[in-house]
């Protein structure tokens, strides 16, 4: 394999791991920041729905990861059905029941980071609650701002990788008879 081929392989492996943005002809990974915030809301006979939405001009990716739904103090022994209203892959609004809580048999439900893309509306379809919904609001930001110092470090790293020695074929040994 020639030195040019080794450099091409380094280029391909760099590009396959990278996002938009770049230095010269090579693309370099953009810094990714993940922020996680506690989320909680309560549905009751007085507040039957809650909508979680983000600003439209926000370029970050937002995920709402639900962890638990539970009946709180003052709940009656009745069926409390909670539904989620969101959009499907065709951007059509759909409503899906996610919990049927009853104080005497199932006062809480663990959702194990059930992930939703905002905007999402939670509705107390039946019952009077109060039902507490908890989870995490995750914000993933990909920064395309690369300082000059980072660019020069990345260029040095790419040059070092491009100067790898070529892989030579193994020599065949003649067998003894």
Model-level pTM? 0.61
Contacts of 136 (CB under 8 A, 6+ apart): 36, 37, 38, 39, 64, 65, 67, 113
pLDDT tens sequence across 25-41: 555 566 888 888 999 99
pLDDT of residue 137: 92
pLDDT tens sequence across 133-144: 999 999 888 876
Read off φ and ψ for residue 11, nearest 5 degrees.
Answer: -60, -45
Q: What is the set of domains in the chain, with CATH numbers? A: 32-142 (2.60.120.340)
pLDDT tens sequence across 107-130: 999 998 889 888 999 999 999 989
Q: Mean pLDDT over residues 149-170, rounded?
A: 60
Give the E-state strand segments of the chain in sequence order: 32-43, 49-52, 61-71, 80-87, 93-101, 108-116, 120-126, 131-142
Q: Mean pLDDT over residues 6-25, rounded?
A: 41
């Amino acid at each position: 394999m020639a030195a040019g081929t080794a450099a091409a392989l380094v280029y391909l492996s760099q590009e396959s791991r990278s996002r938009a943005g770049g230095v010269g002809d090579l693309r370099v990974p953009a810094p990714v920041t993940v922020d996680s915030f506690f989320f909680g809301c309560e549905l009751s006979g007085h507040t039957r729905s809650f909508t979680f939405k983000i600003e439209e001009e926000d370029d970050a990716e937002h995920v709402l990861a639900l962890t638990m739904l539970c009946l709180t103090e003052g709940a009656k022994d009745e069926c409390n059905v909670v539904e989620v209203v969101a959009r499907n892959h065709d951007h059509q609004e759909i409503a899906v029941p996610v919990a049927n809580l009853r104080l005497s048999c199932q006062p809480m439900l663990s959702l194990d980071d059930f992930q939703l893309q905002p905007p999402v509306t939670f509705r107390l379809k039946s019952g009077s609650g109060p039902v507490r919904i908890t989870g995490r609001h995750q914000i993933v930001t990909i920064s395309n701002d690369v300082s000059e110092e980072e660019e020069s470090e990345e260029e040095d790293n790419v040059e070092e990788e491009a100067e790898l020695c070529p892989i030579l074929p193994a020599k065949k040994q003649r067998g003894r008879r």
